[in-house]
Structure 1
Amino acid sequence: MRPILDVRFLRDPDLRFLEIALVRKSAHVFPKHCHDHFTISVIEAGGSYCNGPTQEKSFVGPGKIALINPGQVHSCIAPPGMVSSYRVFYADTPWLQALARECCQSEIASPEFARLIVEEPAATRAFQAFSRMLARGPDRVDRLQRESAMVAAFSRLFARHGNFSGRVPHPGREHRSMRQVRDYLASHLAEKVSLEELAQLAGLSRYHLLRVFKRDTGMAPHAFHTQMRIDRAKRLLRRGLPIAEVAFAVGFADQSHFSNKFRQFVGATPGQYALG
């Protein structure tokens, strides 16, 4: 069977906090979603809108880089008839924030990117070169060389486009209740969760919960829950678990439904993702 998408995933055993997706000639449309890690997309051909097709300023095209912070809701919608080629770097939040603190020599709480889209030819070349090193495999490129290329690429972006003025916010009651709801969803990935039980947990009406949750996360509770289930599925697939077992573990009784939903959010089938 022909693969649905031309996509390859790179994972280095020495760099477990990082994953790279190499995508070629894709017209896949990603719905609104977010990640619990940093996402850096280097566009090589085509392009897409990061915040919906009506947001002209959110279009990221060839030679540009999209910088997505953890928890930042975004989409990837290509113009009609356009196919795109790009490299996506998924970096664990604690690792990249630690590197950002090294860049600015500061212990601020949560450094993040200040801009959504940037044009940095030198950074683009650095990320391309780094991904090519990983594609060659750890046996062919020295670890020190790989780590040096990685740090140089990421630190360049944070040095030029990082926000180092962040402070730890003092959460209000609504913010704390939404944290409780998110934690509850995270601990019930394999279960069906009702709006009523979330509302009771937050101490809000169902209507108020929907409004506050979307304002706080940018997503509806069900979409946020699905995103978390897919993120969990990715981790299980990387551990080598069978697809059917992973589907069941994250609450999908139907493997076909799981595969369709996984492809929608990841841009690859579970089998493609597991193979790398």
Structure 2
Amino acid sequence: MGGVGGDWARYWRAGRRPLEAMHAHFERHVYHRHSHDTYSFGVTETGAQAFTCRGAAHTSAAGMVMAFNPDDPHDGHAADALGFTYRIVHIGPELVTEALADATGSRSPLPLFAAPLVADAAAAGALRAFHRALLDPAATALRRDELLAGTVAHLVRAAATQAPPDPPMARGTSAATAARARRFLEDHLLDDPTAEELARATGGSRFAVYRAFVARYGLPPSDYQRLLRLRRARTLIADGVPIGEAAAATGFADQSHLTRWFVRCFGLTPGAYREAACS
């Protein structure tokens, strides 16, 4: 638990499984536009959180569920001076697949949540119960797995489709070009490529690559490169690598540079993440 002013956050992570949870209250904190490589499901408890996602502005009031697909870029801040309190879980796609199989008895395609806001009391209740169990040291692993399956099933029934449509692409852009650019950034995590080098690697003009990338991933390549570095740094920190070493290993100038962006995108410091309850 920690924070500045009226802000506080409590974090939990599940060791080697792609499952994390945060309970937080924010009045001053402003999330920089970012995305996760997981599904992220949040439920607002008090107040209201304003955010932009998929080109539109939204407000999550008490009792509403936020549903973000992997790589869904979004930001967020308090809608008024009173702030907001919310619970959020980050669930890896492989765990969503397992949970759906547990709930339905068969393998299903990964769901797509077409809208980032879900008004469904049953889904919100299931998410709250699951979140509380994750942060409860007395909860058993079996109970948590049961609630995971139930929560995913509730959310899918309430708001998901089974076949993700092709992402909207501006005229003259290409999903393949965007995917090649992403692979290049992943393969050259510590490099500092120019726009021209990225264009050569993907076979398009600088403008075409930029437009295709933003249309597909919702962020410019430079922002996505920093996000990839943050995700890698988070993994290293969870594995016990000292924060300064993690910063150096992922292309940040120093520990303070990593810390600033970690807070802006994830809502807590690398140190708080490292010390998060883990089971």
CA contact (8 A) 1:110 1:167 kept: no
SS at match of 1:77: strand
Tell me the amino acid that sits aligned with residue 8 of structure 1.
R
Which residue in 2 is equivalent to 1:146? 144
Question: How many residue pairs are counted as aligned between the two chains?
Answer: 269
Report the Cα distance in structure 2 between the residues aligned to 1:127 and 1:91, rounded to whole angstroms.
12
Report the Cα distance in structure 1 between the residues aligned to 2:108 and 2:217, rounded to whole angstroms.
23
Tell me the amino acid that sits aligned with residue 252 of structure 1.
F
SS at match of 1:47: strand
Structure 2: 5+ residue stretches without partners: none
C-alpha deviation, 1:194, in angstroms: 1.6
CA contact (8 A) 2:112 2:163 kept: no
Which residue in 2 is equivalent to 1:20? 21
User: CA 1:222/1:113 → structure 2, altered by over 3 Å: closer, same or farther?
Assistant: same
Which residue in 1 is equivalent to 2:111? 111
SS at match of 1:50: strand
Report the Cα distance in structure 2 between the residues aligned to 1:209 and 1:153, rounded to whole angstroms.
38
Following superposition of structure 1 onto structure 2, how do residues 112-261 of structure 1 map, counting pairs within 5 Å? 112-137=112-137, 140-166=138-164, 174-261=174-261
Tell me the amino acid that sits aligned with residue 216 of structure 2.
D
User: CA 1:209/1:114 → structure 2, altered by over 3 Å: closer, same or farther?
Assistant: closer
Following superposition of structure 1 onto structure 2, how do residues 36-75 of structure 1 map, counting pairs within 5 Å? 36-51=37-52, 55=56, 58-75=58-75
Which residue in 2 is equivalent to 1:34? 35
TM-score normalised over the length of structure 2? 0.86
User: CA 1:215/1:55 → structure 2, altered by over 3 Å: closer, same or farther?
Assistant: closer
TM-score normalised over the length of structure 1? 0.87
User: CA 1:77/1:151 → structure 2, altered by over 3 Å: closer, same or farther?
Assistant: same
User: CA 1:55/1:164 → structure 2, altered by over 3 Å: closer, same or farther?
Assistant: closer
User: CA 1:111/1:25 → structure 2, altered by over 3 Å: closer, same or farther?
Assistant: closer
Tell me the amino acid that sits aligned with residue 118 of structure 2.
V
Report the Cα distance in structure 2 between the residues aligned to 1:273 and 1:213, rounded to whole angstroms.
30
C-alpha deviation, 1:98, in angstroms: 4.0
C-alpha deviation, 1:143, in angstroms: 2.4
C-alpha deviation, 1:160, in angstroms: 2.0
Alignment RMSD, CA only? 2.6
CA contact (8 A) 2:97 2:108 kept: no
User: CA 1:167/1:63 → structure 2, altered by over 3 Å: closer, same or farther?
Assistant: closer
CA contact (8 A) 1:111 1:163 kept: yes
CA contact (8 A) 1:101 1:111 kept: no
Report the Cα distance in structure 2 between the residues aligned to 1:262 and 1:244, rounded to whole angstroms.
13
Structure 1: 5+ residue stretches without partners: none
Report the Cα distance in structure 1 between the residues aligned to 2:166 and 2:60, rounded to whole angstroms.
30
Report the Cα distance in structure 2 between the residues aligned to 1:232 and 1:164, rounded to whole angstroms.
29
SS at match of 1:27: coil
